[in-house]
Structure 1
Amino acid sequence: MIAMGLTSAPATAQAVPPQSQGAPEQRGAVTNLPLPRYVSLKGNEGNARRGPSLSHRIDWVFRHAGMPLRVVAEFGHWRRVEDKDGAGGWVHYALLSGVRTALVTQDMLELRTRPNPDADIVARAEMGAILRLNECQPDWCRVSGGGQRGWVPKTTIWGVDAAEIRD
């Protein structure tokens, strides 16, 4: 077993509620992509502003490359984003990436060889580590980071909705 430090960010566990069953899917007025949706911070720093322009005050600064963020609104070249604690603001789209990542919300999270709680442990990730999000099944996601890859329960990461399936 290998312990992974990986990229660390402040962490507190909080699940993202799935969208209501049967409710029509919202789409962004600019991109026509689903809202809410997850993205990640492209660089090491991104300013979150009070409104969608450079003239608005900076309320928050994201400082972790790859940090998963949830897009909840769009206006021109700006996206309203939130982190797992609900902090955020308007960020220019150029600072965001479509690469999916997830934030570990459980300390010493065990990455397993298969999506099964009895499968062998291949690595452990610290709470706050940022992992690359790969395939997701109903209850498990395959993640990678620090040269390791494995399966984790969806309930132990933030950056994917409970009902989301990824191939």
Structure 2
Amino acid sequence: MRPLLSRASLVLLAVALAWSAGGDALAQAAKGASGLPLPRFVSLKSKSVNLRIGPSLDYAVAWRYLKPGVPVEIIQEYDNWRRIRDADGTEGWVNQALLSGTRTAVAAPWMRAKGEGVFVNMRRDPSPNSNLVARIQPGVVVKVDQCNGEWCHAEADGTDGWISQGEIWGAYPGEAFK
């Protein structure tokens, strides 16, 4: 007896159903086992965080972060381990207990190599014509409390203001949050 639908037809039917349901089934695929979206930005909680080559204490330490608040991107989840990527592209595994939901960002890390005289402007309001409140060197970590899709409200060394979202690593293009 021949099956009513081939395997390829079943796959197409599943995709069509997901599409017709508003993409809810497809959106679920972008969530990790924790139920949180993947990828997503978080920061390091501890002042000493081991980056391992695999998701367990049995794996070797590839790198050690020595500063809390560094922004990282969670790209994969396995049990209580998170595969992360930093602003330099380094990837590895850390225990979730060493991560915080506090949002931080790095000011234009891609501009670090350009040397002296290159800055990221922090403005009083979310507008390119707003008054300048600070000039931040590329690579400086800032605390971010909200983004509107174009600008992020940030704080660095006691000064707060707005930075163009395209000039930080720590918020996705167009991402808005409070």
* Greater relative CO (CA pairs within 8 A, separation 6+): 1
Task: Measure, in 2, the Cα distance between the counterparts of 1:139 and 1:76.
Answer: 34
Displacement, 1:73?
0.8
Task: Measure, in 2, the Cα distance between the counterparts of 1:144 and 1:28.
Answer: 30
SS of 2:27's partner is coil
More strand by share: 1
Q: Which residue of 1 aligns with 2:51?
A: 48
More helix by share: 2
What is the number of residues matched between the two proteins?
A: 145
TM-score normalized by the length of structure 1: 0.82
Displacement, 1:138?
2.0
Residue type of the alignment partner of 2:35: N
**Structure 2: 5+ residue runs without aligned partners?**
1-22, 112-117
TM-score normalized by the length of structure 2: 0.77
Q: Which residue of 2 aligns with 1:28?
A: 32
Structure whose alpha-carbon radius of gyration is higher: 2
Residues 1:160 and 2:154 aligned together: no
| Percentage identity across paired residues of the two chains | 39
Residues 1:137 and 2:148 aligned together: yes
Runs of 4+ that moved beyond 3 A: none
SS of 1:24's partner is helix
Task: Measure, in 2, the Cα distance between the counterparts of 1:76 and 1:147.
Answer: 37
**Structure 1: 5+ residue runs without aligned partners?**
1-21
Displacement, 1:126?
1.4
Q: Which residue of 2 aligns with 1:87?
A: 90
SS of 2:166's partner is helix
